[in-house]
Amino acid sequence: MPDSVRPTTGASIFDRLEPLLPRVQKPIQYVGGELGAVSKDWADTTVRWALMYPDAYEVGQPNQGVQILYEVLNEQPDVLAERTYSVWPDLEALMREHAVPQFTVDAHRPVGDFDLLGVSFSTELGYTNLLTALDLAGIPIESADRDDSHPVVLAGGHAAFNPEPIADFLDAAVLGDGEEAVLEITDIVRGWKAEGSPGGRDELLLRLARTESVYVPRFYDVDYLPDGRIQRIVPNRPDVPFRVHKRTTMDLDAWPYPKKPLVPLAETVHERYAVEIFRGCTRGCRFCQAGMITRPVRERSITTIGDMVENGLKESGFNEVGLLSLSSADHSEIGEVAHGLADRYEGSNVSLSLPSTRVDAFNVELAEELARNGRRTGLTFAPEGGSERIRKVINKMVTEEDLIRTVTTAYSGGWRQVKLYFMCGLPTETDEDVLQIARLAHEVITSGRQATGSKDVRCTVSIGGFVPKPHTPFQWAAMADPETIDRRLKALRDAINANRSLGRAIGYRYHDGRPSHIEGLLSRGDRRVGRVIKRVWAEGGRFDGWSEHFSYDRWVSACDAELPALGVSLAWYTTRERQQAEVLPWDHLDSGLDADWLWADWQDALSEVEQDDCRWTPCFDCGVCPAMDTEIQIGPTGRKLLPLTPVTS
């Protein structure tokens, strides 16, 4: 927005914030000043971004997406990017009492002063935190009430692939990869401001919409059928596209970020240098939105990975390297990557981890490389389903033999603790499918004890509730109700503990079915759900992704108050199966996936038919590559990582 209409110009509010910090928990999270942080003069920049991860600093600070965009934007000489996170309720109350606005941690500038507020949503349960931040910033909660003095509020991240539940609160949403998108948006804002901001906020949003990769909800109308279903979603003006397309960044080697990772002063959930070794996944797990919406697979080369690790460790001082992707062991040169990095840092205090490892891609050689320096970070495997039948339904083709062999390999390699992740409430699931998890866990411990000759092996069974997600074959599926999930989880706990000798070696962690139920409402909701979100927030909803703050009763009460007058209900959005002809709230948002292909895969799921990974087999016509003008980019490159001298510890 033009500075001439702003009441303030980026002045720090730290002198007003500082007296409040001794009165709150973990005040250091609001101080900023991390290694790698960037500070720029407000007056020397033309376009100013506030980047938000709508959760606490300890969760949001390590977020890879925000760190990448922060660095990409700040590399532009006339662009300023700063970060803001959700404040805990104790500080929120004090900020309201003392009229302190939502602020950035970098220079403690009011968020309301920026041109753009970019919010990255990894989960829908952060929606109420967005409303808190807007309200604290003095930005009207509903976009229709904003004027030229307010920032443009954009959403990104995986949840932005269905932004309809928060459409009333957003000015725009960006689908897909952000690196090039934020630069294009910056160019548009820069040019509009240079022209004297013609046409005000509406003209700027129109210019963004014309890119066909920025979704502006106000330019689209939604009509409903008498039974509550959507009749159509159409543009309400002739110069915006009927469909908005996702962005796909190709050639990840050209985008080796983060180059200067942010090193937190406060404790965070991850403290490591993370390298995204490839983006996208074509394994075809039918529940996995991340795998579907990030197609096609694009690998970083082994040499770029090595360069990023060398530079990232030097810049940060971290002693753990996380090799990230949706399934890191699927990289075509993962063995060479792990071996080369282990060689480079042997004898140092640097350890390697693969936070996401498929059961059928883990092997002895990889285990040995990851443990070369004597530090064995945690291993997590995700069979997802307890029975072979349900694994066929979800297309997670991991056999019981695969799992036992892989976990035994880990135990034999010196690991004593592994985590196994499953889901409950999957389509077609029966009680027996869930109880099979107990038998599988018992077999894991038995095999581990036999392989090691020791009883000192453990596994943790972690269970999450299944949530159908947009742009997946399960987008039409009915959810199981919370009572069914809770009953099955209790029966599973009893089955695990039925054998005391084995049960005492098995940890059991699960969430009840209620948070997943609300996530399902927000995941597949339409614009009518916005009034539920607003009511929950007004009644105190904050940090819904945290069990100690989440209130199921508050959400149910808000649904009961807001939805019946619209002819829908919480159950209508969650436990109802959709039909092929139904218009879904995100049908005008193009992830590249062909709707007929998704429906056919849903029918295959119901018939328990598996599908292969198109990375190694002929194309299955999902539609992404031709629709997005992209292609699968994988190795092998045949290159090796050269040793570094000297190795620093």
How many residues can be counted in the chain? 649
CB 518 within 8 A of CB 123: no
pLDDT, tens digit, 9 for 90 and up, residues 523-557: 999 999 999 999 999 999 999 999 999 999 999 99
**Max mean pLDDT range (364-368, 413-417, 645-649):** 413-417
CB 326 within 8 A of CB 625: no
User: Judging by DSSP bridges, how do beta strands 230-235 and 220-224 pair with one another?
Assistant: antiparallel
Separation between Cα atoms, residue 546 and residue 209, nearest integer Å: 35
494: how many CB neighbours lie within 10 A of its CB?
A: 12
Separation between Cα atoms, residue 84 and residue 60, nearest integer Å: 9
Backbone φ and ψ of 401, nearest 5°: -65, -40
Distances (CA, A) of 570 to 55, 334, 408: 25, 44, 44
CB 388 within 8 A of CB 439: no
**Top-confidence residue, 347 or 101:** 101
Distances (CA, A) of 92 to 82, 96, 102: 20, 6, 9
Identify the DSSP state of 170. Answer: -
pLDDT, tens digit, 9 for 90 and up, residues 593-605: 999 999 999 999 9
Predicted pLDDT at 4: 40
Position 154 pLDDT exceeds 90: yes
Using pLDDT thresholds of 50, 70 and 90, give the confidence band for residue 376.
Answer: low
Which phi-psi region, left, alpha or beta, contains residue 419 (left: φ > 0; alpha: ψ -120 to 50)? beta
397: how many CB neighbours lie within 10 A of its CB?
A: 18
pLDDT, tens digit, 9 for 90 and up, residues 451-499: 999 999 999 999 999 999 999 999 999 999 999 999 999 999 999 999 9
In b/e form, how buried is each residue of 503-513, taking b as 16+ CB within 10 angstroms? Answer: bebbebebbbb
CB 341 within 8 A of CB 353: no
Position 355 pLDDT exceeds 80: no
Percent of the chain topping pLDDT 90: 80
Strand partners, 233: 222
What one-character-per-residue DSSP string does 264-305 give? -SS--S--SEEEE-EE---S--TT-HHHHHT-S-EEPPHHHH
